[in-house]
Chain A
């Protein structure tokens, strides 16, 4: 692995660019480099691993008490990744992805590394951008002292930090219990785990239970639940969750059946499952589809991870939630798909190598529906009933304002965004998109599939204006802005590109 630390060290062109160095991205990179492709891997973090195996190459293995054996599985993917013949740009933000405009051309990614922007071409791009937490908008969720379970896990993994004071975890899904277990082991003061899962979902998930019993996740999940219940108070069937406090979270109030209870807190960790990060795929105009089981939009991919736009692939949780082991297999599948499309391996060779991987993928997908349905968030946490709840944190748009504009008959989330600025802030809608779709679907009585979601434009992550200004200017581009072709000597950016 060659570590890229400044933008100038990047090649202009790679066979395969991989965005994200979690299990899917690392596995894809290893597979692609073995076939002799020139590979660039880009990741926002300082080290490979993604969210699940964050900092796995940095910790000494003695740490495994807290994080568990599953975390250390990451090392078996990270080790070959570190040894592979690839370029790895860490601490690098990808802010644009422009697909090839014609079949013979290449895709281009715009990225920023060490303060400089750069555009890099690739014949194929694999999006391994992983998942993000589904926003959980409840009254008070914007108060200091409230964060997502994922954020708390990042702190735990990267700097072994545990939340301050009495802590309440609230929400639903496997990660909530995983984090509870990890934090308890690390010595956090967890007062309670408030499970907001819709009890009705248990019945709906039942038909999928037999398949789940055969899943590698079954025993693991059961152990986790028992472990957490043994150590702290777990309260299920929570409704009407609200966080109160003046300048900081001070208490959590919730209802269970007819009883209401308030707990004093210093920290509240919210989590209601993860959903695919689709911003890059969406900004490249890839087809997006609604996954009703997972209650989220995901990019459309074929059996090799090809997106609807030629030259682009997706693998791992960014293409549909399946977990880390599943992601690692998908990464290899997408790499083989790309290698074969680029003619770097023969189709026959690809098929031979794909067969066992596809079988493995099937195994990891087994029983997924059970988890998806069981942990589907309750409606009131998908579409907050209280008008005062903030939905768009960047622009401070509240639920009531949204409902009022939806009532005007706006055709969809994009016009809604135009009218009320919801989703126009620096987070580019990451923290409100799913809620907006849910609210609109609820108000209109239709499926979220019919509502759709924000169409995104670059930059999907902020980039400084001076960085954009330093990028190559073409003659046509100068003409389009000034109405004049640049004189060769006055073109400040050197050769025309």
Chain B
């Protein structure tokens, strides 16, 4: 088994796999080092939106990055599907966010307004609609919905198929995937890095840490403070039912296979094995008020997963100032950003230098504000 690579990607979730796939298809010899079968794995718990509306309030660069990924998603999906030979059910029909009270709608509208005022390089439209307008577009929406927002740029995908496709695409491009390879130690060696796992020592000229919450631990090994924390979310999935919803909502979507996903909550908590029944009750109640027809569907699964949240909620992409050629990529929204990671970030990593438009994502922003 070879242990010398051009690039080692630490982490085999959606972020690591997208970067790994992007590097491998550019001809690099890449290792993807992953944990075992039972791990935190945000990638198994996501809601599968390719989402634009409302993202980036507080950081215009993130709004732009999200938009670029979303705009590139179609091309990225087609290319990946050609490689692996199955569809990921990606679509971009626009998406809604629904509100069940005037207070919710007012807060939502205020946020959208602030986002507009923040200024965009390529402004896009978000419509604030009242309940009747919503029901004209989505006739099944219940009477308790008072309004919502719509953005034509939103879409979704079957995220499990995306996850599998990235891994298969990586394999097709000659990437080396190794599970059960938790990295214990990173040391400089032979002009590159030596990553020690329980099984082996992997050498790579360059490395990128895409290990979700574990980037906190790993970052220290390359001289980087990566301030991310877990933000727990819960998701409910119903049995399959006939198609009734042909576009995604921020909290309700019907998958290509027919099941309905209901999300999503946010809670400061770090145990992915715990689920709050009360939260499921609130989510179920709201979903039924949004779509009364859901009431009689059987729930077949619920789960909780940990989002990887930085202090301001925005991604961290950065090269270590002390360890050249060692990068970090930390973010939530690994589905939306998959296209950017594979085809915008990976080429920069392949060249060995991040471009200046990614400066905003450096973790230096936290340290500046801490001393200011």
CA distance A455 to B44 in the complex (A): 12
Report yes or no: B288 in contact with A465, Cβ–Cβ below 8 A. Answer: yes
CA distance A415 to B160 in the complex (A): 10
A96 / chain B contacts, CB cutoff of 8 Å: 277
B283 / chain A contacts, CB cutoff of 8 Å: 481
Q: Within residues 379 to 422 of chain A, which ones have a CB less than 8 A from any CB in chain B?
A: 405, 408-415, 418-421
In the assembled complex, the CB of A353 is this many whole angstroms from the nearest CB of chain B, namely: 36
B44 / chain A contacts, CB cutoff of 8 Å: 414-415, 418
A476 / chain B contacts, CB cutoff of 8 Å: 267, 276, 278
Report yes or no: B34 in contact with A411, Cβ–Cβ below 8 A. Answer: yes
CA distance A413 to B37 in the complex (A): 7
Interface footprint category on A: 35 or more
Report yes or no: B302 in contact with A466, Cβ–Cβ below 8 A. Answer: no
CB-based nearest A residue for B43: A418
Q: Within the complex, which residue of A458, A469, A474 is in contact with B285, where a contact is CB–CB below 8 Å?
A: A469
B301 at the interface (CB under 8 A from A): yes
Choose the segment among B184-192, B204-212, B289-297, B309-317 that binds chain A (4+ C-beta atoms closer than 8 Å): B289-297
A50 at the interface (CB under 8 A from B): no
A420 / chain B contacts, CB cutoff of 8 Å: 164
B35 / chain A contacts, CB cutoff of 8 Å: 411
B171 at the interface (CB under 8 A from A): yes
B281 at the interface (CB under 8 A from A): yes
Interface footprint category on B: 35 or more
CA distance A405 to B179 in the complex (A): 14
Report yes or no: B287 in contact with A418, Cβ–Cβ below 8 A. Answer: no
CA distance A282 to B164 in the complex (A): 25
In the assembled complex, the CB of B296 is this many whole angstroms from the nearest CB of chain A, namely: 6
B66 at the interface (CB under 8 A from A): no
B34 / chain A contacts, CB cutoff of 8 Å: 411
In the assembled complex, the CB of B279 is this many whole angstroms from the nearest CB of chain A, namely: 4
Report yes or no: B160 in contact with A419, Cβ–Cβ below 8 A. Answer: yes
A452 at the interface (CB under 8 A from B): yes
B280 / chain A contacts, CB cutoff of 8 Å: 468, 471
Report yes or no: A483 in contact with B236, Cβ–Cβ below 8 A. Answer: no
Q: Within residues 77 to 133 of chain A, which ones have a CB less than 8 A from any CB in chain B?
A: 96, 98, 101, 108, 110, 119
A418 / chain B contacts, CB cutoff of 8 Å: 43-44, 160, 163-164
Q: Within the complex, which residue of A457, A466, A474, A482 is in contact with B275, where a contact is CB–CB below 8 Å?
A: A457
Q: Within the complex, which residue of B266, B274, B285 is in contact with A473, where a contact is CB–CB below 8 Å?
A: B285
Q: Within the complex, which residue of A412, A419, A471 is in contact with B36, where a contact is CB–CB below 8 Å?
A: A412
CB-based nearest A residue for B287: A465
Q: Within the complex, which residue of A110, A408, A452, A471 is in contact with B171, where a contact is CB–CB below 8 Å?
A: A408
CA distance A241 to B165 in the complex (A): 35
B1 at the interface (CB under 8 A from A): no
B92 at the interface (CB under 8 A from A): no
Q: Within residues 20 to 61 of chain B, which ones have a CB less than 8 A from any CB in chain A?
A: 34-38, 43-44
A219 at the interface (CB under 8 A from B): no
| A interface residues, Cβ below 8 angstroms from B | 96, 98, 101, 108, 110, 119, 285, 405, 408-415, 418-421, 424-426, 428, 452, 455, 457-459, 462-466, 468-474, 476-478, 480-484, 490, 492-493, 497
| B interface residues, Cβ below 8 angstroms from A | 34-38, 43-44, 101, 103-104, 107, 160, 163-164, 167-168, 171, 177-180, 236, 238-239, 257, 262, 265-267, 273-288, 294-303
Q: Could you list 14 A-B pairs, sorted by A, with CB under 8 Å?
A: A408-B167, A408-B168, A410-B167, A419-B167, A424-B300, A457-B301, A457-B302, A462-B299, A465-B262, A465-B294, A471-B278, A471-B281, A476-B267, A482-B282
Given A98-B277, A410-B37, A410-B167, 20 extra CB contacts under 8 A: A96-B277, A285-B273, A408-B168, A409-B178, A418-B164, A452-B38, A455-B38, A459-B300, A459-B301, A462-B239, A462-B299, A462-B300, A465-B236, A468-B299, A469-B287, A471-B284, A472-B278, A473-B278, A481-B265, A484-B104
For the complex of A and B, list the 4 residue pairs with the smallest distance between their C-beta atoms, beginning with the closest.
A412-B37, A477-B278, A411-B179, A462-B298
